[in-house]
Structure 1
Amino acid sequence: MSLAPRTAGAPEGPGRHGGGRRGGGPGRDRRPRRRRVLRWSAIVLSVVILGTGGAGYLYYEHLNGNIQKGRRSGADDSKAQRTRPNAAGQTPLNILLIGSDSRNSDENVKLGGSKDNRGNPPLGDVQMLIHLSADRKSAAMVSIPRDTRVDIPKCEDPKTGRTYPATNGIINTSLARGGAGCTLATWENLTGVYIDHWMTIDFAGVVRMADAIGGVEVCVNQNVWDRPTPDQPGGSGLKMKAGRKKIKGVQALQWLRTRHAWGSDLMRARAQHMYLNSMLRTLKQQNIFTDTGRLTDLAEAATKSLTVSEEIGTVKKLYDLGMELKSVPTDRITSVTMPNVQDPENGEHVVPEKGGADKVWRMLREDVPFDKNGKSDEKDKSGKKSDAAKKGGAEPARDPSTEPSRLGVLVQNATRSSVEPAVQGRARAVAQVLVRHGYGMADTDTSAPVSADETVVRYPSAELEGDAQAVAEALGIPASQVKRSTDVSGVTVVVGADWRTGAAYPKKSAPEAGDLPSNSDAINGSDTSKCMDVYKPYQW
């Protein structure tokens, strides 16, 4: 089957290749030989890419051999669970994109700076979650600044077998503590969002991909030169005049790495979002299937540039992912940066701004569109008007299997966050609330307080699901926060940082499409008006 798009008016069957096409009358489509050759070249190359025979199979295997793969997750204790399917049985797709500063090759040292850093563990300086909605009609790109202090879980490096203990540190170091799988586990630990796959790209990969695409248009309001200054060493080397310009190769890498000239890491995330939005618009405008050279260049660049989690480690799977993202209209793509505040422990770092960040994570978990451009029926499906969605997509409640007075319930204190200590005695207070509701065997976990952003009720097996739902109802916890987990032996209430006081779980209004926090720096993918402001010392 050809991947080449059919052009309106193109001949489709033997009967349409006869004399009727030779008349050349009004409305007739006279196709030059060159156009037909290009079309058939595209068909042949499509067969090659899909590897459906002979030399095509060999080239397909060559491309597959280019792809480096790794284990999906570096931790085994993630509590994140997939979003429940929508009415059509579809689920969202979440992919973590990581930009590595690895300097472990001559090419990367040349592009990335000091050779003294060669051999050092790579840092994940760019981290962005790409979220495709269950119906594939909207998408979001969410960045976390590289200097964000978070809890990094215990991780194992799949290459060396080395185990790294859990720590509280800067998120970009997670890549050096077990590879991309550890970064994925860190994101799941922070957000509660189940992440299906990861992709990493290094300096050289960015250059190859930018060249294969043919350039991406960016914009600055003033002349920019990101260079060393008396007060600040380093710099990406980006130099361009004010206005719009198509950049590729090394200059594209410089744009993505520029930080000082934009004024901060937060503005660097904005520049990266603008670049990616522009790249998606560029790809949508291109028809690479009528240009065999461009298609092979892009296939070679992509397979050589990306390291991916093993589940998507084939050309066809990467192609399918690309086509799913390309199918989303640009006005339904929204990029944001995690709402954040200055770290009270270090002014050069940031931590999540709890209210805004929690809202973004919840919208991702519940598959609520980040834009308001969907049709009214799509908004119904996303949860704004349907009863099922108001309950977070939860299934109907099951009947409890045990009388409340005979059910053992364990309550854990997980109120510690990256910016606030645990509330002492919180598990005991919630257990007492359960006792008043008739759960006389409710008890507290006496181990050290753990950390969870959101309160959940966990249960180990299907027969206890109804009991867990009843416990949640007694405490006012939404049914969507009742989750099955193999790391508990009975019904367990994990009291998170979102419930630090009070006898009833605080009610939260359901997020609506496009209702993003004001401090998330949202940019719509169709917005071509955005230009970067240049910090005064880097203007010329």
Structure 2
Amino acid sequence: MTRSSVQGEDTRQGASDAPERAEAVEGAGGDDGESGAEPGRRRPRGRRRALRWTAVVFAVLLTGTAGAGYLYYEHLNDNIRKDPLNLGDAKVAAPTPNAAGQTPLNILVIGSDARDSEENQQLGGARETFGSTPLADVQMLVHLSADRSNLSVVSMPRDTLVKIPKCTAPDDGTVYPASEGRVMTNQSLGHGGPGCTVATWQELTGIHIDHFVMVDFAGVVSMADAVGGVPVCVDANIHSRDGEGHGSGLKLEKGTHPVQGEQALQWLRTRYGFEDGSDLARAKAQHMYLNSMVRVLRENATLSSPNKLRRLAEEATRALTVDPGLDTVKKLYDLSDELRKVKPERITMTTMPNRYVGARVEPTEDAEQLFRLVREDIALDGKDTRKKEPAPATTPPADPAAPDDALAVQVRNGTRTDRLGTAPGRANTVAGLLVEQGFTQAVADPSVLPSEDRTVVRYPSADLEGDARRVAESLGVPVGSVQRSTDVSGVTLIVGADWREGTAYEAPVSDDRTPESAQALNGADESTCMHVDPAFTWS
């Protein structure tokens, strides 16, 4: 089972600094001693991660509580800040509607650690970082199925290594060049705003993103208070504090208890005391809190109180930055109305499967499987019983393919797996097949790639899409394995682990199961308690 990130650094210094323990997978770090550092290790002050309470804002959207928009409608609209949806050059095509004319909705929820106001600084600490470049330390992709029957959430660890594309800031036109090599994904926010985080996700996943919602520190305690508390469960008494002062300070008795305000923040950032003390355990606690919040807001009739709705709407709108498609209370309510069609038992929370690269993490083959399920609108809970519809005809590329003998193709070997070494000679063999078929400019790249689960054809720009499709067609590679990517400079065929031998490619049967390493948690699960480390219990 792939573990989530537990290692990190002072993210404001970049990947060159010495590694140290990271904070929560969703970015929840340590206030009041929950530093995320191992005992005896010193780390900079103020490493308190943004949006331990992202779940609160997300749950408000899920339940339609923003329907209080009739209260001070224009005032609430003025509270909401706006930013462009996508600051990158590459666009991902929207999914094709199903037979009923429905399309999925993908919303990226971003948590910023910005200390751009006195209120944010007071909540987030870190005086030395006041006014500095913000980081996207919480990133969750919310996928609502086309038929509105199910909802999936994919969280990405803040220290995932990705390539950030070129982004242009909307306010002053500053151009941020594409990153040289891979950097931590949370740095994307500092490349012009949330639209660059959206562009980074689209480049990595191939998933079309319709909207983003970004939230900051302000309003966290009052929002948590406004919903009247969220029940959480521990299997023993817990006090998240060790002899050296590490821990969030959370103190709860065994059993289920509602938490709100500061105690809710402590729950969301607790690592010391939960299970093995890793960020994987903290992410699990955050997903449990979010699921519980959704159930509370759907079932708690007291939230029909105008005063409580007004307070919650006020705090939520003050904390939001959204794209132009969500820039009014009415638009947010319409979105929430769509989201709340999904029952809790059809909500699935996951964390992007990852593996270590030094002190950082990178997506695994299981992560690509998870992204594919989202792209193809396949329910992560395995309960999607609808009959599969025939694949719709694909839209022809804007630029048709060049003649086969004029089409340059680079062939690379990505056959290595976690259990098997690289299959020798595969790039040469497949390049030879292409030459025999008339692609006389096909050449083998002698370098060996990391594992590629499936054979793919990648291309860097729209004018080469037709060429890439033609290469795929000649070998029997399905069109779904033709991908646009800035990782390549021309049409590139990567021979994957599914084609380790032979000269005829056979596309593997699709496995539509959610990988175990995604740590899926069902939204209706009320039975799970967080396991308490005996070293952090009390009597």
Does the 8 Å CA contact 1:460/1:488 hold for their aligned counterparts?
A: no
> Is residue 457–residue 494 contact of structure 1 (8 Å, CA) maintained in 2?
yes
Question: Once the 2 structures are TM-superposed, how far is the Cα of residue 271 of structure 1 from its aligned partner?
Answer: 1.1
Find the counterpart in structure 1 of residue 253 from structure 2: 241
Alignment of 1:67-146 (within 5 A): 67-78=80-91, 80-146=92-158
| Cα gap change, 1:416 to 1:331, in 2 (>3 Å) | same
Distance in 2 separating the partners of 1:266 and 1:133: 27
Q: Does residue 509 of the first structure (1) align with residue 529 of the second (2)?
A: no
Question: In the TM superposition, what is the alpha-carbon distance from 1:471 to its structure 2 partner?
Answer: 3.0
Residue 111 of structure 2 aligns to a residue whose secondary structure is: strand
Alpha-carbon distance in structure 1 between the residues aligned to 2:463 and 2:111: 40
Q: Match for residue 39 of structure 1? A: none
Q: Distance in 1 between matches of 2:243 and 2:227?
A: 33
Provide the C-alpha distance between the structure 2 equivalents of 1:218 and 1:459, rounded to a whole number of angstroms: 47
2:241 corresponds to? 227
Tell me: CA distance 1:539–1:98, structure 2 relative to 1, closer, same or farther (3 Å): farther
Match of 2:285 in 1: 271
Task: Say which of 211, 214, 218 aligns to 2:228.
Answer: 214
Q: Which amino acid letter does the alignment assign opposite residue 336 of structure 1?
A: T
Q: For the residues of structure 2 that align with 1:215 and 1:404, how far apart are their CA atoms?
A: 65
Q: Give the 5 Å matches for 1:249-264.
A: 249-262=261-274, 263-264=277-278
Decide which moves more: 331-340 or 98-107. 98-107
Kindly provide the amino acid, as one letter, of the partner of residue 367 in structure 1.
D
Q: Which amino acid aligns with 1:350?
A: V
Q: Provide the C-alpha distance between the structure 1 equivalents of 2:98 and 2:328, rounded to a whole number of angstroms.
A: 28
The 1:426–1:115 alpha-carbon spacing in structure 2 relative to 1, beyond 3 Å, is farther
Q: Is the 8 A contact 1:258 1:268 kept in 2?
A: yes
1:237 corresponds to which letter in structure 2? G
- Indicate conservation of the 8 Å contact 2:458/2:488, yes or no: no
Alignment partners' CA distance in 2, 1:330 and 1:362 = 23
SS in structure 2 at match of 1:341: strand
Equivalent of residue 281 in structure 1, options 266, 272, 295: 295
Q: 304-313 or 358-367: which moved more?
A: 304-313
Are residues 1:495 and 2:506 paired? no
Partner amino acid, structure 1, of 2:368: D
Contact 1:146 1:265 in 2 (8 A): no
Bigger relative contact order, structure 1 or 2, given CA contacts below 8 A and separation 6+?
Answer: 2
Tell me the residue number matched to 1:191.
205
| Aligned residue identity for 1:472 | A
Given that residues 145 and 266 in structure 1 are in contact (C-alpha distance below 8 angstroms), is that contact kept between their aligned partners in structure 2? no
Distance 1:494-1:314 versus aligned 2 partners, 3 A rule: farther
Greater mean alpha carbon deviation, residues 494-503 or residues 281-290? 494-503
How far did 1:162 drift?
5.1
The yes-or-no answer on 1:147 pairing with 2:159 is: yes
Q: Give the Å deviation of 1:295.
A: 2.4
Match of 1:352 in 2: 363
C-alpha distance in 2 between matches for 1:150 and 1:416: 21
Report the Cα offset of residue 138 of structure 1: 0.4
Aligned counterpart, 2:45: none
CA distance in 1 between counterparts of 2:187 and 2:462 reads 36
**C-alpha displacement at 1:143, in angstroms?**
1.1
Q: Which residue number in structure 2 is paired with residue 49 of structure 1?
A: 69
CA distance in 1, matches of 2:413, 2:193: 27
Seen in structure 2, the aligned counterparts of structure 1 residues 487 and 68 have a Cα distance that, compared at 3 Å, is same
Secondary structure, aligned partner of 1:109: helix
Larger radius of gyration: 1
1:529 Cα deviation from its structure 2 partner: 0.7
- TM-score, normalised with respect to structure 1: 0.74
What is the DSSP-based 3-state SS (H/G/I as helix, E as strand, rest coil) of the residue aligned with 1:260?
coil
Q: How does 1:396-411 map to 2 (within 5 A)?
A: 405=404, 408-411=407-410
Could you tell me how far apart the structure 2 residues matched to 1:492 and 1:282 are?
A: 51
- Give the Cα separation in 2 of the matches to 1:194 and 1:452: 22
Query: Structure 1 residues 463 and 99 mapped into 2: Cα distance closer, same or farther (>3 Å)?
Result: closer
3-state secondary structure, aligned to 1:261: coil
Alignment of 1:470-489 (within 5 A): 470-482=470-482
Q: Distance in 1 between matches of 2:240 and 2:127?
A: 20
Q: CA deviation at 1:394?
A: 4.8
Tell me the CA shift for residue 270 of structure 1: 1.0
Output the TM-score relative to the length of structure 2. Answer: 0.74
Q: Which deviates more, 293-302 or 146-155?
A: 146-155
Are residues 229 and 152 of structure 1, via their aligned partners in 2, closer, same or farther at CA, if it must alter by over 3 Å? farther
- Residue by residue over 1:299-347, the C-alpha shift from the partner in whole angstroms, topping out at 9 and shown as x without a partner, is 212211111122211111111111211110111111111122232x23x
What does residue 186 of structure 2 align with?
A: 172
- Of stretches 167-176 and 91-100 in structure 1, the one that deviates more from structure 2 is 167-176
Structure 1: runs of 5+ lacking an equivalent: 1-44, 51-55
Measure, in 2, the Cα distance between the counterparts of 1:186 and 1:223. 41
Aligned residues: 464
More helix by share: 1
Q: Distance in 2 between matches of 1:227 and 1:144?
A: 27
> 2 CA distance for matches of 1:497 and 1:190?
18
Aligned to 1:11: none
SS of 1:342 mapped into structure 2: strand
1:521 aligned onto 2:519: yes
Question: Counterpart of 1:226 in structure 2: which amino acid?
Answer: S
Q: Aligned partners of 2:487 and 2:233: how far apart in 1?
A: 50
Deviation at 1:63, TM superposition (A): 1.0
Written as runs of structure 1 = structure 2, the 5 A alignment for 1:6-21 is none
SS of structure 2 residue aligned to 1:526: coil
Q: Percent identity of the aligned residues?
A: 45
Does the CA contact (< 8 Å) of 2:354 and 2:361 recur in 1? yes
- Aligned residue identity for 1:122: P
Counterparts of 2:161 and 2:369, CA distance in 1: 19
Change (3 A) 1:245 1:91: same
How many Å separate the matches in 2 of 1:460 and 1:177? Answer: 22
| Deviation, structure 1 residue 397 | 8.7
Pairing partner for 1:530 from 525, 528, 531:
528
> CA-to-partner distance for each residue in 1:222-281, whole Å, 9 max, x for gaps?
222333642xx6533322222111112222222222233331221221111111111111
Matched residue SS, 1:204: coil
Give the CA RMSD over aligned residues.
4.1
* Aligned counterparts of 1:474 and 1:522: Cα–Cα separation in 2: 38
Aligned pairs for 1:288-299 (under 5 A) are 290-299=304-313
Distance 1:427-1:153 versus aligned 2 partners, 3 A rule: farther
The answer to whether the aligner puts 1:370 opposite 2:390 as a matched pair is no
Map of 2:195 onto structure 1: 181
For the residues of structure 1 that align with 2:382 and 2:115, how far apart are their CA atoms? Answer: 42
Residue in 1 that maps onto 2:76: 63
Kindly state the Cα deviation for residue 480 of structure 1 after the two structures are TM-superposed.
2.2
Residues 289, 275 of structure 1: CA spacing in aligned structure 2 closer, same or farther, 3 A cutoff? Answer: closer
Are 1:331 and 1:373, in contact at CA under 8 Å, matched by a contact in 2?
no
Give the superposition deviation at 1:460: 7.4
